[in-house]
A and B are shown apart, each in its own frame.
Chain A
Amino acid sequence: MGRARLDRRPPQTAPTPGGFRGALLLVERATKETLWDCRMCGQCILHSTGLSCPMRCPKSLRNGPCGGVLQDGSCEVVPEMRCVWVEAWEGSRRLPLWRHHMEHVERPTDWRLQETSSWENLLTRRDHHVPDGWVRAKRRA
């Protein structure tokens, strides 16, 4: 599949996907929300975060826990909840693959992709859009 042109409209203003795209979105949402409480960021890194969805973090952190994790491992914002990143760390140790992904520097979130299908974005490479400055810095690092 070729590189699709990036739709710059946020999903709220773009037409609701129909047909195959609509079905894909429906299936992804149904399975991932049930299994992992997925938040449909449209740029999935679940396999890199021990199958703990980082968008459940109230601070939307995609690179690890903040410094406010309580001593018992619960979230500072929602104390009833275990820190998403404590679960990510434990989950990553149980995974046979991708454990070292916890050490990867993840790129900034593309908020245009909210509520879109990460599967579609993967296939169309829409989720490969990285700001030019980031690409340059990564090349140097």
Chain B
Amino acid sequence: MTEPRSGLHRLLLAGEFVVTAELETTDSADPASVTVPAEGLRGKVDAVNCTDNSSAHTHIAPMATAHLLLDSGVEPVMQFACRDRNRLALQADLLGAAALGVRNVLLMTGDDVSTGDHPEAKPIYDIDSIHLLRIARIMRDEGRYLSGRPLTQAPSFLVGAVENPFAPPLEFRPMRLGKKVEAGAEFIQTQICFNLEKMRLFMARCGDLGLLDHVWLLAGVFVPRSGRAARYLRDQVPGIDVPDAVIDRMDAGSPEAQRRAGIDIALEVLDAVRQIPGVSGVHLMAIRNEDAILTVVEEAGLLPRPSGVRQPVA
């Protein structure tokens, strides 16, 4: 019997349909900018993602966000992008995060600096996400750095990765997921899902490859606030497939009607992905629409959360 490494891990092992959400990142030095929204999510979702300079824009360090979340009694999923740090810095932060009590990490390549607020910056990309996944497992399972030098105490965390089933080359995406699982990914959060047909094909192919017995997959669900927000996703965020039908529905009516349409679309996607074999949960995302995440969790009948009472993990 596998010992749970985190609260999220315990729920996944128990076969619960898990709910994670992305915390709106902050540009404030005031800790309340993290702890106040965290209070809102506590008990409503099982774990909360702290993004790492999301969309290649500078924000507060995820290490600090994760620490503030832990202080607020919320379990973090700490994100690590390969864009800003080389293998020394990434390993240092993995170890540091574990020392602070972070028990879920999510390892990714990261959006390129050219799409962010410092396009003139030097992108790092010393290693890629698959290298980082294996490095996290080397640290955890071998008790060593990549170099082979031993750690005094190995970290213990659940290792996660991302995948985008909606971007080309579509036929290769399930194989790429297989590479991530081979490298050490234990759970996956997908890119935002609107195109259910692509999602079903991806999951079916992952099933054919025998991957779904080895990894928990959380489908990414976005709650758009307005037609403008949906267009922004389609036109400004690389790799997201927003069908015209979604844009059309979001464009209709008053701001309040648009907000409601966004919640309805998210609920429909959530219900649909829940029916797909191999989907173990959902990861909810929004941009300046965090209250809507709570509405979706409630209206989807996902409350109360089994993680509502937080149990410490050794």
| A58 at the binding interface (Cβ < 8 Å) | yes
Minimum CB–CB distance for B306 against chain A, Å: 30
> Chain A nearest CB: distance from B59 CB in Å?
19
Question: Closest CB-CB distance, B244 to chain A, in whole Å?
Answer: 12
Q: Give chain B residues whose Cβ lies under 8 Å from the Cβ of A68.
A: 111-112, 115, 164, 167, 238-239
Across the interface, do A59 and B238 meet the contact criterion of CB distance under 8 Å? no
Please tell me if the beta carbons of B168 and A108 are within 8 angstroms of each other in the complex: no
Q: Does B145 contact A (CB under 8 A)?
A: yes
Query: Would you call B176 and A136 a contact (CB within 8 A)?
Result: no
Would you call A64 an interface residue if the criterion is a C-beta within 8 Å of the partner chain's C-beta atoms?
Answer: yes
Binds B, one of A7-15, A19-27, A116-124, A126-134: A126-134
Does B172 lie within 8 Å of A64, measured CB to CB? Answer: yes
Contacts of B129 in A (CB 8 A): 63
Within 8 A of B (CB), among A86-133: 86, 89-90, 102-109, 111, 131-133
Does the CB pair B128–A63 fall under 8 Å?
Answer: yes
Please, which residues of chain A bring their CB within 8 A of the CB of B167? 65, 67-71
* Number of CB contacts from chain A to chain B under 8 A: 136
B87 near A105: Cβ-Cβ < 8 Å? no
Size of A's binding interface in residues, CB under 8 A = 41
A86 contacts B169, CB within 8 Å? yes
Seed contacts A59-B128, A62-B128, A65-B176; 19 additional CB < 8 Å A-B pairs: A59-B123, A60-B125, A61-B109, A67-B108, A67-B162, A68-B111, A69-B168, A71-B241, A76-B238, A77-B112, A86-B168, A86-B169, A90-B169, A107-B131, A132-B148, A133-B135, A136-B144, A137-B184, A140-B141
* 25 CB-based A-B contacts, threshold 8 Å: A59-B125, A61-B125, A63-B131, A64-B130, A67-B164, A67-B167, A68-B239, A69-B239, A70-B167, A73-B168, A76-B111, A76-B114, A77-B115, A83-B169, A85-B169, A102-B175, A105-B134, A105-B179, A106-B130, A108-B146, A132-B144, A133-B144, A133-B148, A136-B138, A137-B142
Q: Which residues of B are in contact with A by a Cβ distance under 8 Å?
A: 82-83, 87, 108-109, 111-112, 114-115, 123, 125-131, 134-135, 137-138, 141-142, 144-148, 162-164, 167-169, 171-172, 175-176, 178-179, 182-184, 191, 238-239, 241
